[in-house]
Copies of this chain bind each other. A is one copy, B any other.
């Protein structure tokens, strides 16, 4: 295969018999170019398969690219990619593209990847913070790049953020279980040390405390090692003395694990379950969940970024997106009768 040379403005200009500036005008503002010249230029461009070089344009214009970066733990998680899809949709409408970079959920990864993206002069940076500290972005913020934290607030960095009403979600869910008569309610999560989980845990404890139950440690399984399978955690909890009659799970991974554990324990619909995060087949299986709209989360983040790009001033904002409970059966189970 012969590899041709890529055509430039100059080449098109030569073929059309005009100056490169005129060609440039045709491809930007079509003002002040005679209609027949426009036609001649476009014909020449088409023949040479000319495509304006966005890089060169960006460089000359002094601006960066029309690209927005999104740093994500891993694309394998349905939550992440749904957020990504929301971002993409919002950006496409505004003429921006989305670069996705993953960090394998590691702090060094986050900084390395952020550096690479910023070198590409992205117009804004969206990220789901993983590292303990985002102060390394402070300089970039001063240079005018909007930074938006999604799902968890950034630490040691003044940045807009969009998070869920995590605490309210588990608070309400726990309340409902209490209202049905449950008193021994479990809470399982893995990982446990992230912002979202500590908020959710707090919602659960608050609701328990409100009902006069102040000691919940015996029903909590908070683990940080992702290699511990969630079904084991739930299984352990169900087999413990004083086992709970209802379980709350901190994310969809644990919810699915809980389903496996319940199946393996031949629980047969006796233990109530409400999971945080909805998932694709939850309605088929019939699992009650605390739900929210991850696509909307991405949209709002992107919209906020676009807004900030136009006007970098103004106070930083922290948006909270609502969560709601979807009843599908498992969360509405009555507490099982005590033996004896």
Complex CA distance for A92 and B116, rounded to whole angstroms: 11
Q: Is A291 an interface residue (CB 8 A)?
A: no
Q: Is A119 an interface residue (CB 8 A)?
A: yes
Q: Report A178-195 residues with CB < 8 Å from chain B CB.
A: none
Quick one: which of A64, A120, A282 has the most chain B CB within 10 A?
A120
Q: How far is the CB of A65 from chain B (nearest CB, A)?
A: 7
Complex CA distance for A150 and B141, rounded to whole angstroms: 38
Residue of B nearest to A56 (CB): B59
On whether A3 and B279 interact (CB within 8 A), knowing A85-B76, A88-B100, A92-B101, the answer reads no
Q: How far is the CB of A113 from chain B (nearest CB, A)?
A: 8
Question: How many chain A residues touch B (Cβ–Cβ < 8 Å)?
Answer: 61
Q: Is A18 an interface residue (CB 8 A)?
A: no
Q: Report A279-333 residues with CB < 8 Å from chain B CB.
A: 279-282, 284-285, 295, 312-313
Contact (Cβ within 8 A) A142 B88: no
A2: chain B residues at CB < 8 Å are 142
A120: chain B residues at CB < 8 Å are 54-55, 65, 67, 97
Q: Out of B55, B115, B142, which one reaches A121, CB within 8 Å?
A: B55
Contact (Cβ within 8 A) B76 A82: yes
Q: Out of B49, B58, B76, B82, which one reaches A143, CB within 8 Å?
A: B49
Contact (Cβ within 8 A) A81 B75: yes
Mark A109-140 against chain B: 1 for CB-CB distance below 8 A, else 0.
00001011111110000000000000000011
Contact (Cβ within 8 A) A3 B281: no
A101: chain B residues at CB < 8 Å are 88, 92, 97-98
Q: Is A243 an interface residue (CB 8 A)?
A: no
A141: chain B residues at CB < 8 Å are 1
A53: chain B residues at CB < 8 Å are 59, 119, 121
Q: Out of B52, B56, B84, B143, which one reaches A75, CB within 8 Å?
A: B84
Residue of B nearest to A50 (CB): B139
On whether A119 and B263 interact (CB within 8 A), knowing A100-B100, A280-B281, the answer reads no
Contact (Cβ within 8 A) A6 B76: no
User: Residues on A close to B: CB < 8 A?
Assistant: 1-4, 6, 49, 51-56, 58-59, 64-65, 67, 74-76, 78, 81-82, 84-85, 88-89, 92, 97-102, 113, 115-121, 139-144, 256, 259-260, 263, 279-282, 284-285, 295, 312-313
27 A-B pairs within 8 Å (CB atoms) are namely A1-B141, A1-B312, A3-B142, A3-B144, A4-B142, A4-B144, A51-B115, A51-B118, A54-B120, A55-B58, A55-B121, A59-B59, A67-B99, A74-B85, A75-B84, A75-B88, A81-B84, A88-B102, A92-B113, A97-B120, A98-B99, A98-B100, A99-B100, A100-B100, A279-B281, A281-B281, A281-B284
